[in-house]
Amino acid sequence: MRIAYLFTCFPVATETFLQREIRAMRERGDVEIEIWSLWHGKPEWEGLRVRRYPFAAIFRVIFLKLPLWAWRRPGALRRVWAAYMAESTPSLLNIGENLLGLAFALDTAGHFRANPPELFHAVWGTMPAAAAWMLNELTGIPFSTGAHAYDLFRHGGDWTLRHKLARAHLVHTTTEAARRRLLDLGVPPARVHLIRRGLDTLPQFREDLDAPLRRASADGTPLRLLSVGRLVPKKGFQHQIAIYEALRTAGIAFTARIAGEGPLLDALRQRAETLGLANTIVFTGKQEYAQIAAEYATADIFLFTGVVAEDGDRDGLPNVIPEAMAHGIPVITSAVSGTTEAVVDGATGQVVTAGDTAGWIAAIRRLHMDAAFRERTRRAARNWVEREFCAHANAARLSTALRQIGTRTSAADESFGLGAQTPSVQEFVHNAIGEAD
């Protein structure tokens, strides 16, 4: 079975979880993955060609492909255009994402008619899902889509998300919080597949972690704190700076490393300097996963201070949390979206409100001083990862679900809410593909 995987951009250094997913699915060998990167990306990844869409082709779309498809499939274009016009636009960025996705579909529909995959799979509910939806309208080939925190919550959700969900045969999400949101949007439960990401290989568990923490509590050796993430509002790094100031005031020796890059870097550095913490907090900048793994290997405690940003954006279950748990690093997290699905307070870690600085100090002190609690929670966290966050097991579940769509030969599924019908591959093949509506 051949699946055309549609990415916004591939590969992306901060999206190693997607690379693991593709790697695990390729190793299974039961599907053929064809990668399409709609915005930039590299031409090759691990021996697999990445088909990149040239932005300059937008002129070909405007002057050739759009008029062509308006003549050949006017009904398809009317349906999609009407859906977009019926919804309010959440942001200029989301408008651009969707329009580029639609342009990609108009430009490549002829290619996919001549070389039809069994399925389009849109990794995100924004640009890739716009492309998959329009391709479905123009070719009849079924599609599935991912729907994750960014797609569901930022500015209230993607521009035409409910229409995309209505047409998709399957909706893939990775947290219970996102699954509940999808159900609230009216997606039938049978179409929603909660399948987490995962690690393709589990790191060695940090059996040595207890010794440095015992030394720190005995002789004042600085605690080594770590946080990993893009320096954007939803990560709540401003709260971490406040936590570090409070730690110093409380007389707790520590060093903190923040791995990542983003638009808030200068502001966070300036705040650290103003508070006299410039020599205590290290901003490492962008790091590859091998470098992040080295950070896990030397950290004592992992902090995640995620929040709901002003535009509604938030994390689901950021992959850095189960990565730290896999290494055996005790995790303290804020309770945002799907974080508490992995970090259960007092069982697999600790949960503190992002702005509750005193609560963070108390949680750090407990890990610092209570060896029995520390060992119990971090070993339980590793058990959660082994059970829930294996890339191979989760890729097998996703592969099975996608293959069931691609081999479906029954009559068109009835979509919800909008009254459309989703044609099967056989219907597409046996009906005149290029016939005008």
Domain 2-199+390-430 - what CATH class?
A: alpha beta
Q: Tell me the backbone φ, ψ of residue 212, rounded to 5 degrees.
A: -65, -35
Question: Under a CB-based contact definition with an 8 Å cutoff, are residues 144 and 121 in contact?
Answer: yes
Q: What is the pLDDT of residues 95-139, one digit of tens each?
A: 999 999 999 999 999 999 999 999 999 999 999 999 999 999 999
| Model pTM score | 0.89
Residues 384-413, mean pLDDT to the nearest whole number: 83
Q: What is the pLDDT of residues 22-60, one digit of tens each?
A: 999 999 999 999 999 999 999 999 999 999 999 889 999
What one-character-per-residue DSSP string does 51-110 give?
A: EEPPGGGHHHIIIIIHHHHHHH-HHHHHHHHHHHHTS----HHHHHHHHHHHHHHHHHHH
Residue 207 pLDDT class (50, 70, 90 cuts):
confident
Question: Under a CB-based contact definition with an 8 Å cutoff, are residues 101 and 129 in contact?
Answer: yes
Can you state the angle between helices 127-139 and 74-85, rounded to 10 degrees?
A: 150
Can you state the angle between helices 371-388 and 210-219, rounded to 10 degrees?
A: 150
Q: Tell me the backbone φ, ψ of residue 61, rounded to 5 degrees.
A: -65, -50
Residue 431 and residue 437: Cα distance in Å, rounded?
A: 12
Domains 2-199+390-430 and 207-388 share a fold: yes
Position 421 pLDDT exceeds 50: no
Q: In the chain, where are the structural domains located?
A: 2-199+390-430, 207-388
Residue 379's CB is within 10 A of a number of other CB atoms, namely 12
Residues 210-227, mean pLDDT to the nearest whole number: 74
Q: Looking at 173-319, list the stretches that DSSP marks H as alpha helix, in order from N- to C-terminal side.
A: 176-184, 210-219, 237-249, 265-274, 289-296
Position 413 pLDDT exceeds 80: no
Residue 420's CB is within 10 A of a number of other CB atoms, namely 18
Chain Cα centroid distance, residue 31: 22
**Nearest residue to 112 (alpha-carbon basis) of 85, 132, 91:** 132
End-to-end CA distance of the chain: 29
Residue 11 preceded by cis peptide, ω within 30: yes
Which contacts of 263-266 are long-range, i.e. CB under 8 A and separated by 24 or more positions? Answer: 263/231, 263/232, 264/231, 264/232, 264/233, 264/237, 264/238, 265/231
Contacts of 178 (CB under 8 A, 6+ apart): 147, 148, 149, 152, 194, 316, 337, 338
Fold of 207-388: Rossmann fold (3.40.50)
